[in-house]
Amino acid sequence: MTNRLQQLSISFSPQEDRLVLHIGTTGDESYRLWLTRRFAKLLWLALVRALEAYPEIKRQSLPEAKSAVLAFQHEQAVRASTFTTAKRTENTESEDPAAAPEAPPLLITGLRFANQDETLTRLVFQARDAIAVTVNLNQALMHSLCHMLIETSTKAEWDLDLQIADPAPAAPKSQSQMH
């Protein structure tokens, strides 16, 4: 994909029990990718690992500090993102995102990711027959993709327990005791 990313969305197909990742570009190219539950879990681990490699996170020495900074960045990025309904297709008879009149979604079988520099992460989704879809995401889009993955896998009732950070961080342990 050589055009700029214009749309990124994830929906759930209950008929297939899979997520559909929709990638749209400024050149009107459109890619729909099947994500199985197992693959969604692997994608999540890759996304979190890529986010943790950004300098603001890496420079934190304490795991609690890393977690807190990552959670803060996630909250800020999600708050600044625009989440709208997925692009509608000609198919109005079905609510199933996989039933669009376009070619069926590609079943993703592999993923490569690499932080390109301090601002971009490259995700390469691999399908059968040596087909690959490459997406470059900045940190805000990474957080948005994480948010969509959390929301959609929860809607799918997959019980993946995806979290950016511990929702209830423990209070710091004090060395002194009070009586």
pLDDT on residue 87 = 47
Q: Token pair for residue 162?
A: 């995806």
pLDDT on residue 94 = 37
Residues 34-52: tens digit of each pLDDT: 999 999 999 999 999 999 9
The pTM (predicted TM-score) of the whole model is 0.79
Mean pLDDT of the chain: 83
Q: Token pair for residue 101?
A: 């009149």
In DSSP notation, 46-88 reads HHHHHHHTSHHHHT--SHHHHHHHHHHHHHHHHHH----PPPP
Residues 122-131: tens digit of each pLDDT: 999 999 888 9
Q: Could you state, in order of their start, the residue ranges of all structural domains in the chain?
A: 5-155
